[in-house]
Structure 1
Amino acid sequence: MALPQQHTISEDEAALYDRQIRLWGAEAQLRMRNASILIAGMRGLSNEVCKNIILAGVGSITILDHENITEQDFGSQFLIRGAALGTNRAAAAAEKARLLNPRVNVIVDQEDIVKKDDAFFQQFNIVCLVGCTIDQMIRVDDACRASEKRTGFYAANVYGFNGYIFCDLKDHHYRVERQEENAATVIIQKHHTYDSLSDVLLARFGFPTPRKLRRKVSPLLLAIQVLWQFQQQHGGRLPQSSSQEDLATMLQLRDTKLKDAQVDPAFVDDSLIQVLVSTGSAEIMPVCAVVGGYLAQDILKTLSAKDAPILNHYIYSGMEATGVVHHIKKE
């Protein structure tokens, strides 16, 4: 795979990205210019992320997807055309993505992600999985944590009206600017330590009151984790909206999951589980736009090393039009 060589910012690029350089500085733009990013899973959410990252001027973006385009894809993906029906998702999306910014090297990989070894993921600066199973997310996250390149890991998806982002940067250093009373700008160096996805899934909350618990975790996050468990038990498929059996299974998994997490099962209402079952297989474009915009912004923030990225979950509820960040630890 041809990943980008070390580049400098040309005069043309300085003019093109002038507003961005004014925002986060030439050094940050140079980091992005030399960054290589993997987007695995081409869905409506991925389209939004690719668009924003390519327009920002990263060095290289690899689009990985082994599946072909179906009729359902046209309802959420704006990087594919009607004539591409039945062709590979990654290849079809890359054709239009390259037109957004010819300076960005857009690479297509049509191999199944399960066939990739750990070394494949470790060559990138950022790996972002979209629509993958929890087992795939855990494996790739562990591979990124073992990378000598300090590969950052993101996982995200949209389930109907709801969406999530998980971020693991292991040990991330960044800087923030603070204005002093005398109008001087002071740069402060900071860092965050992240937990792995496998550790986060073992979090225990100790049966706090609902009000205290909501400060730590969204009911929607726990409901999505129940959805992941359903996929584990059913070969990766999502619940069928018309299946009462699938709904009953989800409710049973909810009770078990929350008991293990030391949370009152009533904290995740039946109606929330019903919404995930009835709409979870759909990608709603406005939700993709919100979650995808937030995700792309955070990836660029990580690459620029300016300001704090997500630590470590972002949960979006389209029903309530709210997005929250929760820092979930194993303990």
Structure 2
Amino acid sequence: MANSQKGGIDKSVKYDRQLRLWGDHGQAALELARVCLINATAIGTEILKNLILPGTGSYTIVDGHKVQGEDIGNNFFLTKDALGKSRAKVAAELLAELNEDVSGDFMEECPETLLQTNPSFFNTFTIVIATNMCERTLLQLASYLWEKGVPLLVCRSYGFIGYMRLVVGEHPVVESHPDSAHEDLRLDRPFTGLVELCDRINLDNMNKKEHSHIPWLIVLYKYIEEWKRTHNGEAPKNYREKNQLKDLIREGIRKTKEGVPEEEENFMEAIKSVNTALVPTQVPSTVRKLFEDEECLNLHQESKPFWILLKAVKMFVENEGQGLLPLRGTIPDMTADSKRYIELQQSYIEQAADDIAVVTEKLQDILQSIGRGCSISEQEIKTFCKNAGFLRLIRCRSLAEEFEPRTAKIQEIAAHIEDEEHSDVIFYILLRAVDRFYEEYNHYPGWYDDQVEADVPKLKTCMNKLLHDMGLPPTIKDDYVHEICRYGASEIHTVASYIGGAAAQEAIKIISGQFVPINNTFIYNAMKQTSITVEL
């Protein structure tokens, strides 16, 4: 993202916090994104609010409804002056005031009509977000988008229950940003540049200041090598041996004339780092699984860049990498003088660059073999190699697979229903039953205040039919059915706001290609303040 200005505001300042989170390239992807929101409900406008504020390129609201009284009561982006007006138009205009960098549009048309008359309209979007849609239309939309490869995020706010379902056939993640990860230091399998640098250093011949400012990584390397000389070339493996190595490093700390150990922070850092630095360097199982994926093994001209890059890395691992991924090329901060630290840092950078060069050569060979031009930039290759150990792939099931009894995950659902006191998956069944109720009676259970009690047995019948179709016993308590009828399909703004924030976060993950999105269903229970993510 360039430091462009609009209205006198520097974007690098305006979006400073999020730039730190997903970087220039993540922000650039966001600014190029086109988002389609179906239905400007309370949850829908909350989602858009959270996408507009960080600078999503453009949005289009598709909604054929007029503003009703209940809309004004739960939707902050609709006012009483909007009664009877187009909900899409009013919401789009008020949302546009949030960020002048974002362009908004609307269509006063029902999604059902668009699907019948102009389905290709939905092909033009980066992601489609559908809120509070009836099951029949949702399945039609999901089937069409699945075929076209357009991600769909289904969201719902129903009384005290929030629901979110991601529908995407294949979503690779290069920058997954793991919460915790071991540094890629290779002390168990040091590369040539690191060995040469460390071999030039003699800890015994240093003065006091030099000795206390050698980077702990070099200190640890030296003592590991000393250990190996008396242990048949083997590094410490178990808890006892690692503690013995720590004691060996402690003995190397300089002492005063009185025999008191000096305060050498670098040696203490080396001791603290023994356990993590000696974790064996290997290819993670998640990445090995990707190496064996059919998409990686059988490349073709239409293969996605992710799979082409992965194949190049796989070839590197099997050859020049000697079973290891390309070096990440970064080291942590540590107590050291600038000269030594920069030398150490440079050795890692140079080795990482050498590995990237080898991967690039293999990539060019692959592109040539599949008859494809060079469509992958140097920066993409560099980013891929740096994050090769954290690659992730999300493959969601389609809604059709989930809703079809023959392919539904009946056993998983049954297990959750049996533990209904602790599992919110029971509300998944109830929301499905609500949709069946709507199809049969053309209104949601409890929609009319004077029919709440009358709708309870009707909803229970719909629920039991659904359970029967899934081959499950009708074991859900009547209390849950009464509660759903009491909601009357109302949207509570606090629930809509919570799910709106979570959904916007998932949408940004899909748009930016960073962080790992859910797979595939998220259910929120505001009554208990609990949530669950399940693969259905």
Contact 1:242 1:278 in 2 (8 A): no
Following superposition, the deviation at residue 242 of structure 1 comes to 4.0
Amino acid at match of 1:153: L
Aligned with 1:221: secondary structure? Answer: helix
Amino acid at match of 1:190: R
Q: Tell me: CA distance 1:24–1:247, structure 2 relative to 1, closer, same or farther (3 Å).
A: same
Provide the rounded CA distance (Å) in 2 between the counterparts of 1:77 and 1:299: 21
2:318 is the alignment partner of 1:319: no
2:293 is the alignment partner of 1:85: no
Contact 1:80 1:92 in 2 (8 A): yes
Q: Where do 1:56-75 residues align within 5 Å? A: 56-75=54-73
Greater share of strand: 1
2:394 to 178, 192, 214: 192
Following superposition, the deviation at residue 21 of structure 1 comes to 1.0
Amino acid at match of 1:154: L
1:135 corresponds to: 136
Q: Deviations over 1:32-89 (max 9, x none)?
A: 1000000010111112111100001111110111111111111111112221111111
Following superposition, the deviation at residue 280 of structure 1 comes to 3.5
Following superposition, the deviation at residue 217 of structure 1 comes to 7.3
Following superposition, the deviation at residue 184 of structure 1 comes to 4.6
1:263 corresponds to: 472
Provide the rounded CA distance (Å) in 2 between the counterparts of 1:217 and 1:130: 20
1:293 corresponds to: 501
Q: Tell me: CA distance 1:9–1:140, structure 2 relative to 1, closer, same or farther (3 Å).
A: farther
Q: Tell me: CA distance 1:209–1:284, structure 2 relative to 1, closer, same or farther (3 Å).
A: closer
Q: Tell me: CA distance 1:133–1:95, structure 2 relative to 1, closer, same or farther (3 Å).
A: same
Following superposition, the deviation at residue 211 of structure 1 comes to 7.7
Contact 1:301 1:307 in 2 (8 A): yes
2:426 is the alignment partner of 1:224: no
Provide the rounded CA distance (Å) in 2 between the counterparts of 1:296 and 1:162: 18
2:182 corresponds to: 180
Q: Tell me: CA distance 1:297–1:177, structure 2 relative to 1, closer, same or farther (3 Å).
A: closer
Q: Where do 1:97-112 residues align within 5 Å? A: 97-112=95-110
5+ long unaligned stretches in structure 2: 186-329, 333-385
Provide the rounded CA distance (Å) in 2 between the counterparts of 1:196 and 1:277: 29
Q: Tell me: CA distance 1:315–1:9, structure 2 relative to 1, closer, same or farther (3 Å).
A: farther
Q: Tell me: CA distance 1:248–1:9, structure 2 relative to 1, closer, same or farther (3 Å).
A: farther
2:378 corresponds to: none
Contact 2:162 2:495 in 1 (8 A): yes
Q: Where do 1:143-292 residues align within 5 Å? A: 143-147=144-148, 150-175=149-174, 176-178=176-178, 179-181=181-183, 184=331, 187=387, 188-202=390-404, 203-206=408-411, 218-235=425-442, 237-240=443-446, 241-243=449-451, 244-266=453-475, 268-292=476-500
Provide the rounded CA distance (Å) in 2 between the counterparts of 1:218 and 1:262: 16
Equivalenced residues, count: 318
Q: Tell me: CA distance 1:113–1:8, structure 2 relative to 1, closer, same or farther (3 Å).
A: farther
- Across the aligned residues of Structure 1 and Structure 2, the Cα RMSD in angstroms comes to 2.2
Q: Provide TM-score, normalisation by structure 2.
A: 0.56
Q: Tell me: CA distance 1:204–1:265, structure 2 relative to 1, closer, same or farther (3 Å).
A: farther
2:42 corresponds to: 44
Amino acid at match of 2:392: K
Following superposition, the deviation at residue 210 of structure 1 comes to 5.4
Provide the rounded CA distance (Å) in 2 between the counterparts of 1:171 and 1:209: 27
Contact 1:122 1:143 in 2 (8 A): no
Q: Tell me: CA distance 1:115–1:8, structure 2 relative to 1, closer, same or farther (3 Å).
A: farther
5+ long unaligned stretches in structure 1: 1-6
Following superposition, the deviation at residue 9 of structure 1 comes to 6.1
Q: Tell me: CA distance 1:232–1:45, structure 2 relative to 1, closer, same or farther (3 Å).
A: same
Following superposition, the deviation at residue 100 of structure 1 comes to 0.3
1:10 corresponds to: 4
Aligned with 2:66: secondary structure? Answer: coil
Amino acid at match of 1:201: F
Contact 2:169 2:396 in 1 (8 A): yes
Provide the rounded CA distance (Å) in 2 between the counterparts of 1:217 and 1:171: 27
Of the two, which has the highest radius of gyration?
2
1:3 corresponds to: none
Q: Deviations over 1:165-211 (max 9, x none)?
A: 11101111113134324575962221111111121112142495558
Aligned with 1:158: secondary structure? Answer: strand
Q: Where do 1:26-45 residues align within 5 Å? A: 26-45=24-43
Q: Deviations over 1:251-292 (max 9, x none)?
A: 1122221222233321x3211111111113211111111111
Contact 1:216 1:327 in 2 (8 A): no
Greater share of helix: 2
